[in-house]
């Protein structure tokens, strides 16, 4: 039985002592005290099916025993030494992570968050190419640090301060809302236009998530990335894939999101699912790019610390041993089938999209005008929670449900989730 403070007490303390810009998801707050694989428990012992994985962070499952054991073992032995001494954990883990990458992506930099990883990637692109301008996509989220706030393209996450100097945002190849539908190549033409109109003609780099996360599970139109990478490379830039949400087999069809479009980036940034909840992130690049960065020293106090390295390696082992990529494909396909059927039944569903366990359901009040059903999304969101299901919410208009559960989510969980959605939508 739980003996800690109750929700009201936690809320009062949070209001008094914590950053007031933190947001809470529900009107009646959920006070989580325990997690086990795809389930979360509140202080009354009530169980919730977690279809959002702490914002796509819990990959193996909450408190997966193999990851917990690896962390405890390393914590007892040595928590911290920094990279000024040798330690096997960071080296073993870098080897294991590099083995998961295609091509020449073999050099790993460890940091502590996705924002830091993207900061590092921005620096690499600029130092390596000698160019300054960086292109990202509209509706992207790449972090909230001083530098990445400029990459992020949602007003919600941008302060009214100088940010994004040298960053330009290209047209989003959004199959549902974009002007060219699912024709990826046509959207790529906008990149040429942008480079010609806003830069010297030379760029440092290009950032994209293959399936935008915070932006509402928007899968880039097919054919976009190969065309975009070509244009960027011709303009002297390098290509960066933000795999913070799409990596580690979550898309089911591939281990990395960029593989779904058949490209190999020059830099990959990783966070969230890489650590199953541990504060761990990484940048992976080629020896050629890394050698140019080596003109200066690199140091990061906690990056790749023994505890996170042991945990991160255990995450890779779990995902391999439990064949999670294959599992995401099976459960994801089933979910997509059922969600498409749900769309036939409920007019409020405008679009069902994504792959594997990286899905989105966009709600509209009218399928022709595609007017965002923001109020209804909120109402349904509360109704799902009342029935014991936690999903994510996203998109510029807050009208997209994001289904990105821990990767151990089962077919039965998927059916329960869709049944809850169906029931709640029928009552709307």
User: Which residues sit at the interface with ligand PMP, rule CB under 6 A?
Assistant: 55, 113-115, 118, 141-143, 209, 213-214, 242, 244-245, 271
What is the smallest separation between the CB atom of 378 and ligand PMP, expressed in angstroms? 20
Instruction: Considering the complex, state which of residue 110 and residue 141 has its C-beta at the smaller distance from ligand PMP.
Output: 141
What is the smallest separation between the CB atom of 23 and ligand PMP, expressed in angstroms? 13
Rounded CA gap, 204 and 127, in Å? 8
Collapsing DSSP states into helix, strand and coil, what is residue 136?
Answer: strand
Q: Are 358 and 245 in contact (CB under 8 A)?
A: yes
Instruction: Considering the complex, state which of residue 59 and residue 118 has its C-beta at the smaller distance from ligand PMP.
Output: 118
Instruction: Considering the complex, state which of residue 271 and residue 425 has its C-beta at the smaller distance from ligand PMP.
Output: 271
What is the smallest separation between the CB atom of 363 and ligand PMP, expressed in angstroms? 21
Rounded CA gap, 137 and 99, in Å? 29
Collapsing DSSP states into helix, strand and coil, what is residue 95?
Answer: helix
Residue with smallest beta-carbon separation from ligand PMP: 114
Query: 354 pairs with which residues across the strands?
Result: 359
Determine how many CB atoms are found less than 10 A away from the CB of residue 422.
15
Collapsing DSSP states into helix, strand and coil, what is residue 43?
Answer: coil
Burial class (CB in 10 A: 0-12, 13-18, 19+), 1: exposed
What is the smallest separation between the CB atom of 211 and ligand PMP, expressed in angstroms? 9
What is the 3 state secondary structure string of 129-172? Answer: HCCCCEEEECCCCCCCCCCHHHHCCCHHHCCCCCCCCCEEEECC
Positive or negative torsion for Cα 358, 364, 368, 370? negative
Residue-wise over 174-208: b if at least 16 C-beta within 10 A, else e? bbbbbebebbbebbbebbeebbeeebeeebbbbbb
What is the smallest separation between the CB atom of 376 and ligand PMP, expressed in angstroms? 25
What is the smallest separation between the CB atom of 140 and ligand PMP, expressed in angstroms? 8
What is the smallest separation between the CB atom of 54 and ligand PMP, expressed in angstroms? 11
What is the smallest separation between the CB atom of 338 and ligand PMP, expressed in angstroms? 26
Cα–Cα separations (whole angstroms), residue 412 to 163, 303, 304, 334, 335: 46, 38, 37, 10, 10
Query: 35 pairs with which residues across the strands?
Result: 40
Rounded CA gap, 237 and 275, in Å? 30
Instruction: Considering the complex, state which of residue 94 and residue 244 has its C-beta at the smaller distance from ligand PMP.
Output: 244
Q: Name the residue among 38, 42, 46 with its Cα closest to residue 403.
A: 38
C-alpha Rg value of the chain to the nearest Å: 21
Instruction: Considering the complex, state which of residue 118 and residue 129 has its C-beta at the smaller distance from ligand PMP.
Output: 118
Instruction: Considering the complex, state which of residue 118 and residue 325 has its C-beta at the smaller distance from ligand PMP.
Output: 118
Q: Are 278 and 307 in contact (CB under 8 A)?
A: yes
Q: Are 383 and 422 in contact (CB under 8 A)?
A: no
Instruction: Considering the complex, state which of residue 247 and residue 350 has its C-beta at the smaller distance from ligand PMP.
Output: 247
Instruction: Considering the complex, state which of residue 71 and residue 270 has its C-beta at the smaller distance from ligand PMP.
Output: 270
What is the smallest separation between the CB atom of 244 and ligand PMP, expressed in angstroms? 4
What is the smallest separation between the CB atom of 25 and ligand PMP, expressed in angstroms? 14
Instruction: Considering the complex, state which of residue 278 and residue 420 has its C-beta at the smaller distance from ligand PMP.
Output: 278
Instruction: Considering the complex, state which of residue 131 and residue 245 has its C-beta at the smaller distance from ligand PMP.
Output: 245
């Amino acid at each position: 039985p739980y003996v800690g403070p109750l929700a009201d007490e936690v809320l009062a303390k949070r209001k008094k002592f914590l950053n007031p810009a933190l947001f809470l998801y529900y009107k009646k707050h959920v006070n989580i005290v325990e997690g086990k694989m795809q389930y979360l428990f509140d202080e009354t012992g009530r169980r919730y099916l977690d279809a959002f994985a702490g914002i796509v962070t819990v990959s193996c499952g909450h408190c997966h025993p193999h990851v917990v054991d690896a962390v405890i073992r390393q914590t007892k032995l040595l928590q911290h030494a920094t990279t000024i001494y040798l330690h096997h954990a960071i080296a073993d883990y870098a080897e294991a992570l590099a083995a998961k990458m295609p091509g020449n992506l073999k050099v790993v930099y460890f940091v502590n968050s996705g924002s830091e990883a993207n900061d590092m990637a921005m620096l690499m692109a600029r130092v390596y190419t000698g160019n300054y301008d960086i292109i990202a996509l509209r509706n992207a989220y790449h972090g909230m640090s001083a530098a990445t706030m400029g990459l992020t393209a949602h007003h919600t996450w941008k302060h009214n301060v100088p940010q994004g100097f040298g960053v330009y945002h290209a047209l989003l190849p959004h199959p549902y809302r974009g002007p060219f539908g699912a024709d990826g190549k046509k959207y790529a033409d906008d990149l040429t236009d942008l480079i010609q109109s806003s830069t010297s003609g030379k760029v440092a780099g290009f950032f994209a998530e293959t399936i935008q996360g915070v932006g509402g599970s928007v899968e880039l139109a097919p054919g976009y990335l190969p065309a975009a990478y070509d244009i960027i490379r011709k303009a002297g830039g390098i290509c960066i894939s933000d795999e913070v949400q799409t990596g580690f087999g979550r898309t089911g069809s591939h281990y990395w999101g960029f593989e779904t479009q058949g490209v190999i980036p020059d830099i990959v940034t990783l966070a969230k699912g890489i650590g199953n909840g541990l504060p761990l992130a990484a940048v992976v690049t080629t020896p050629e790019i890394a050698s140019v960065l080596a003109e200066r020293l690199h140091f990061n106090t906690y990056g790749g610390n023994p505890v996170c390295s042991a945990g991160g390696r255990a995450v890779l082992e779990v995902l391999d041993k439990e064949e999670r990529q294959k599992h995401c494909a099976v459960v994801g396909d089933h979910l997509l089938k059922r969600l498409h059927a749900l769309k036939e039944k409920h007019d409020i569903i405008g679009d069902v999209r994504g792959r594997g366990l990286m899905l989105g359901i966009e709600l509209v009040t009218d399928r022709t005008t595609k007017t965002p059903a923001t109020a209804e999304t909120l109402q349904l969101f509360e109704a799902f929670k009342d029935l014991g299901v936690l999903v994510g919410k996203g998109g510029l208009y807050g009208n997209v449900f994001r289904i990105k559960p821990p990767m151990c989510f089962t077919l039965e969980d998927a059916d329960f989730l869709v049944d809850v959605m169906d029931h709640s939508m029928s009552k709307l």
